[in-house]
Chains A and B, each alone.
Chain A
Amino acid sequence: MIVSFPPALILILGAVAVPFLRHGPRAVWLLALPLVVLALVWTVPEGPVLTARYLDYELVLLQGTRLGRLFASIFAIMAFAGALFALNQRRLIELAAAQLYAGSAVGVAMAGDLVTVFVFWELMAVGSSLIIWSARSPSAYRASMRYIMVHVLGGVLLMAGIVAHVVDVGSIAFGPMQPKTLGTWLILVGFLVNAGAPPLSAWIPDAYPEASWSGTVFLSAFTTKAAVYVLIAGFAGAKILVFLGLYMVFYGIIYALLENDARRILAYSIVNQVGFMVTGVGIGTEMALNGSASHAFTHIIYKALLLMSAGSVLYMTGKRKCSDLGGLFQSMPVTTLCGIIGALAISSFPLTSGFVSKSMISEAAVDQHLGAVWFLLAAASAGVFLHAGIKFPWFVFFQRDSGLRPADPPWNMRWAMALFAFLCILIGVVPGPLYAILPFPVAFEPYTPAHVVNMLQLLLFAGLSFFLMLPMMERTLTISLDWDWFYRRLGNRLLAAAVDGVAKLRDWLEETAKGLLARFLALVVRYHGPDGVMAKSITAGDMVFWAIVVLAAYLFVYFI
């Protein structure tokens, strides 16, 4: 059966019905639609399927590619598990927005031209902003405004790039490019804004933790990974991505080590993980792209799992700061276990999903003889265990006892976590099915004895350094300055200074004008006022005197 209806639209249109359904039917609706989409994605054949003429261009609304199907599938799986986790969410706008968001991400992954990519891209921004908004706290509102501004900027750059690119090449087709012209550079920058690349990385840790306990789970999955998808599809082998990726990897680690908010730690670690993928795209070989694509796939699962466990803690305790948490393993065993499995997967422990995906990126660096990149990636792998693998579960579930004894969350949240924890291990133990749907044939064996031992050494000794240096990791009630300081503080201050300056200038002008006017009036009064020389009455004697003077002058002039 060939379906020429974009699967994305099922979720996007389905979102409209969400607020009008009662609890039971709504649950069925939210869970069934992603599964329908997942099935439909695999009926889309290779190549353009649905096209339409718009102005002089051919839109490819639906296109089947191996890479696109991989991403569309994980987006659909994520929409399902996220909805299962969020069933108790009372803010229906968030549930509807999440469907719109997931559907738009599927749309990006199955779009064949730049205009269609752009339309779904912007729909994602709408959906995600609504999710942050629906937390309905003042801080979430302000964070969402900053989030929207960053994404509007990214959207404008992307649109400008698309226009310039279309003028250059005369086609809107979306295919492999290299950043060489103004158009392709702008497109790349527009994509990178959504990937959380520097200098605009701070919107991820700024906005994502402000969403509700369920909203952050959705947010972690789509925007950054859709950006990884378009980077793989459009800019494979662009060398600048290696440098940007490595920066992101270490940025995420360092900032997560400094952070106190449990969900913000995980948000920084999104930047860190996307950094691995972006580095892989920059290396650009088939091995590297397989690594980036599969890592995006596994990352969505374990990062959602980690944020589900953090979301469960927030749901049950209302707390998200490490300094308020601790000792929760005693009363939340399921959440703790699932959080640990997610933490092991993100750290690429053998027998978890991260191990079979991330290793391909390092292997690609070896194949290309990129020694420096390989050493940095190895250090970063150890650093992931440090900041996400141990730090998150340690400070939330163990460390000192906070005295909190919340129970595990409701059944649907437990099952959503169990499903993703199961997938983390299943993919790690049986990587074959994932390897079979990667964009290129896989010639990689993750489970060689040397690789397993090397990885265990790297991770376990990273763990040793964590516990040896634990006193240096003491939690403080702080945030860390980031590039967003420039628009949150410096920009703010400059604006205030500018407003102040304009007000002062206006005051000065007013004072000066008033002074000048007063002096002018004084002058007028002096000469024309009651005592002014021009206002004096003239006596008859004076008049006769001046008449005689004039007549005498006349006679004098007449006779000479």
Chain B
Amino acid sequence: MNAKAARKRPRKKLHWLVRPETIRRLWQWGLGVLAAVTLLDLVIAATPHFGVDGSFGFYAWYGLATCAAMIVVAKGLGYLLKRPDAYYGDDRE
């Protein structure tokens, strides 16, 4: 997204952090770190409190799944609850 928006304005030199190749590298490194952290489960003996939380990669999938669920729930509630900025009159700025 950053890269696409920036490509339209070639006259400015891009900050190194938003260059497409940096973003690609960040994704690669990020996914690598995720894999490494998950694989650490093999080395470090977890002490399960409630059974399922001792299974391999529990915290990884639990974090991913619950966050996805929260985003979906928020999105769904948004259809019901979202109103234009000025819903309560000229209250907002």
- Which positions in A face B, CB cutoff 8 Å? 137-139, 142-143, 250, 253-254, 257-258, 260, 327, 329-330, 366, 371, 374-375, 378-379, 382-383, 385-386, 398-401, 449-450, 453-462, 464-466, 468-470, 472-473, 476-482, 488-489
Contacts and interface: CB of A to CB of B under 8 A. Distances in A.
A407 to B, nearest CB: 16
A138 B89 CA distance: 12
Nearest to A452: B44
Given A257-B74, A366-B49, A480-B82, 18 more contacts: A138-B90, A260-B85, A378-B53, A379-B62, A379-B70, A382-B62, A386-B70, A386-B71, A401-B6, A456-B37, A460-B34, A461-B64, A462-B64, A465-B71, A472-B72, A478-B83, A478-B84, A481-B81
A211 to B, nearest CB: 13
4 residue pairs, one from A and one from B, having the closest CB atoms: A457-B59, A379-B66, A465-B67, A257-B74
A329 B60 CA distance: 29
A293 B39 CA distance: 35
B34 A461 contact: yes
A371 B30 CA distance: 31
A132 B31 CA distance: 44
A459 B82 contact: no
Contacts of B72: 472
A75 B73 CA distance: 36
Contacts of B25: none
Contacts of B92: 139, 479
Contact of B44 (A366, A449, A461): A449
A477 B71 contact: no
Interface in B34-93: 34, 37-38, 40-41, 44-47, 49-50, 53, 57, 59-64, 66-68, 70-75, 77-78, 80-85, 87-88, 90-93
A254 B73 contact: yes
Contacts of A383: 66-67, 70
Contact of B63 (A462, A470, A481): A462
Contacts of A366: 49
Main secondary structure of the interface of A (DSSP, over half): helix
Nearest to A327: B18
B68 A465 contact: yes
Contacts of B74: 253-254, 257-258
Contacts, number: 149
Contacts of B66: 378-379, 382-383, 462
Nearest to B93: A139
Contacts of A449: 44
B46 A330 contact: no
A469 B71 contact: yes
Contacts of B81: 258, 480-482
A472 B75 contact: yes
B74 to A, nearest CB: 4
B91 to A, nearest CB: 5
B38 to A, nearest CB: 6
Contacts of B38: 457
> Most chain-B CB neighbours within 10 Å: which of A139, A458, A468?
A458
29 contacts: A139-B90, A143-B91, A254-B70, A254-B77, A258-B77, A258-B81, A329-B17, A371-B49, A378-B66, A379-B62, A383-B66, A383-B67, A401-B6, A449-B44, A450-B44, A450-B45, A453-B44, A457-B59, A460-B33, A460-B34, A461-B61, A461-B64, A465-B63, A466-B67, A472-B75, A473-B71, A477-B85, A481-B82, A489-B88
Contacts of B75: 472
Interface in B1-39: 1-2, 5-6, 15, 17-18, 30, 33-34, 37-38
Contacts of A477: 84-85
B30 to A, nearest CB: 8
A456 B63 CA distance: 10
A455 B41 CA distance: 12
A253 B67 CA distance: 10
B54 to A, nearest CB: 10
B5 A400 contact: yes
Contacts of B53: 378
A205 to B, nearest CB: 12
A535 B20 CA distance: 106
Contacts of B71: 257, 386, 465-466, 469, 472-473
B91 A142 contact: yes
Contacts of B70: 250, 253-254, 257, 379, 383, 386
A461 B63 contact: yes
> Most chain-B CB neighbours within 10 Å: which of A143, A254, A374, A449?
A254
Contact of B57 (A142, A253, A457): A457
A374 B66 CA distance: 14
